[in-house]
Amino acid sequence: MNLLNKLVKKENISSIFLIFLIFVLDRFSKIKILKDFGENSILINDFLNFNLIWNSGIGFGLLSFNSNLIYHTISIIIGLVVSLLFFIAYKSNTYEKIVYSIIIGGALGNLYDRVFYNAVPDFIDLHYGNFHWFTFNIADIFITIGIFAFLMKNFLIKTENEKD
């Protein structure tokens, strides 16, 4: 089977669509927050606020530095990891393609922001009383879901071969 036939297989097209859908959902949410709310906090209820912050680090604001060299190095590494995930997803079975596609869709959303805004807009603020979780965005939700599904499959769910 040639490369073109492999690329247009149903599960590969479905994966590309899922990546695109997640990317669009993430972009839409960020554009909506930036355009309609900007720097204003929006109190939704006692546990949820929308509060825009600009994250120059990686997930949940980790590794935030004021150095352009470190920022761009981290961005390049993220880009390389996303490229590697594309290759791994292409070679994977259907379940893994879905999991990797969820991660890739979210990662592309945040990578887009890193390239065009030099930071990622995070705005979902979950809290209880004075305890606030890290502020995050839609892309982060999908990345977390994908990683959780990957971990569940690989570490908690026994395959038929492992049961014997």
pLDDT tens for each residue of 38-68: 777 777 788 898 889 888 766 555 555 566 7
CB atoms within 10 A of CB 127: 14
| Confidence bin at 164 (pLDDT 50/70/90) | very low
pLDDT tens profile 74-114: 889 989 999 999 999 988 888 899 999 999 999 999 999 99
**Average pLDDT estimate for 22-39:** 91
CB atoms within 10 A of CB 9: 14
What is the model's pTM? 0.83
Q: Say whether 113 is catalytic.
A: no
pLDDT tens profile 149-163: 999 888 876 655 555
- From the number of C-beta atoms within 10 Å of its C-beta (0-12, 13-18, 19+), residue 135 rates as buried
One of 113, 122, 125, 164 is an active-site residue; which one? 122
Q: Say whether 46 is catalytic.
A: no
Nearest Cα residue to 59 out of 108, 110, 23? 110
One of 26, 113, 125, 140 is an active-site residue; which one? 140
Residues 144 and 119: their CA atoms lie apart, in Å, by 19
pLDDT tens profile 113-133: 999 998 899 999 898 888 878
